[in-house]
């Protein structure tokens, strides 16, 4: 646990699905006494935002109620990360509700528009890049504007931003070209903003997990197994065989890394893309 996180205020985007990375990160921060604003899109929006890829408003509220048993200061906000005005409103809501903003966790993303490269449509490409990269840009921009208004705190700084990358931020893979491009871009954005914001004492990092079997992750497993002509068990066994620690990641693995990067113990870490992959990714 990180006592210096108590009383901090965080936004966690893409936190509206039980068993998802965002919900796990929000839970970990709430356990450390962080006031958390949970975000998600809140509704389906056609084929590019289907039910299995979107946190619904009702589920977002359920997760908030569960987290309030750990910490009372939990709020929710729905916004489309592709629309700057809505992302700006998300940041403004957090400040209005809790008086400041210390932490942004950029977790919202599209990880389901997969398929052969030659079959990718412009709509698919634009949706993935717009959510995963442009939405992260909007969130970072408006979070940093708020953080710059706040005083620097000794041994902690002025703010923390952690973006959720992927093993796909470091290495390519078949059938996921737009996703891989967006996650590579997110690491580049992280490094550039870290350099610019370093003198302002705002730490900017990324966490890069390998595959995590969340609800969406289960859909990904089934899709990839089918595309490769494998049974699900064969696909999962092959995945585990590539990981030195012998298991796939859990949401809690990523959540713990985020909590560390937000804590005072990570005061001198910025511009990093931390692998959380059981050794599968080492660069």
* CA–CA distance, 142 with 7 (Å, rounded to integer): 21
* Residue 183 among the catalytic residues: yes
DSSP letter for each residue of 171-220? S--TT-HHHHHHHHHHHHHHHHHHHHHGGGTEEEEEEEE--B-SHHHHHH
* CA–CA distance, 23 with 13 (Å, rounded to integer): 9
Q: CB-based contacts of 97: which residues, under 8 Å, 6+ apart?
A: 37, 75
With b meaning 16 or more CB within 10 Å and e meaning fewer, what string describes 192-210? ebbeebeeebbbbbbbbbb
Catalytic pick among 2, 8, 179, 235: 179
* Residue 268 among the catalytic residues: no
Catalytic pick among 183, 223, 235, 268: 183
Residues marked as catalytic: 179, 183
């Amino acid at each position: 646990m990180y006592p210096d996180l108590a009383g901090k205020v965080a936004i966690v985007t893409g936190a509206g699905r039980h068993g998802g990375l965002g919900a796990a990160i929000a839970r970990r921060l709430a356990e450390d006494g962080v006031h958390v604003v949970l975000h998600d899109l809140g509704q389906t929006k056609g084929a590019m935002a289907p039910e299995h890829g979107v946190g619904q408003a009702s589920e977002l509220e359920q997760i908030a109620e569960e987290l309030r048993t750990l910490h009372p200061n939990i709020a929710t906000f729905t916004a489309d990360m592709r629309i700057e005005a809505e992302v700006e409103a998300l940041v403004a809501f957090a400040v209005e509700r809790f008086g400041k903003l210390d932490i942004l966790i950029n977790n919202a993303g599209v990880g389901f528009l997969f398929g052969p490269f030659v079959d990718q449509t412009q709509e698919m490409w634009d949706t993935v890049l717009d959510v995963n990269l442009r939405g992260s840009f909007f969130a970072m921009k408006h979070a940093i504007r708020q953080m710059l208004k706040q005083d620097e705190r000794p041994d902690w700084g002025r703010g923390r931003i952690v973006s959720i990358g992927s093993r796909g931020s470091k290495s390519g893979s078949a059938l996921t070209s737009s996703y891989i491009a967006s996650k590579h871009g997110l690491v580049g954005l992280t490094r550039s903003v870290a350099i610019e914001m370093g003198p302002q004492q705002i730490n900017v990092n990324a966490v890069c997990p390998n595959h995590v079997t969340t609800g969406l992750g289960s859909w990904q497993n089934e899709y990839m197994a089918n595309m490769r002509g494998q049974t699900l068990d064969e696909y999962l066994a092959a995945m585990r065989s590539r990981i030195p620690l012998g298991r796939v990641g859990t949401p809690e693995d990523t959540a713990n890394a985020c909590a560390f990067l937000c804590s005072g113990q990570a005061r001198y870490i910025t511009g990093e893309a931390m692998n959380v992959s059981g050794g599968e990714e080492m660069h």
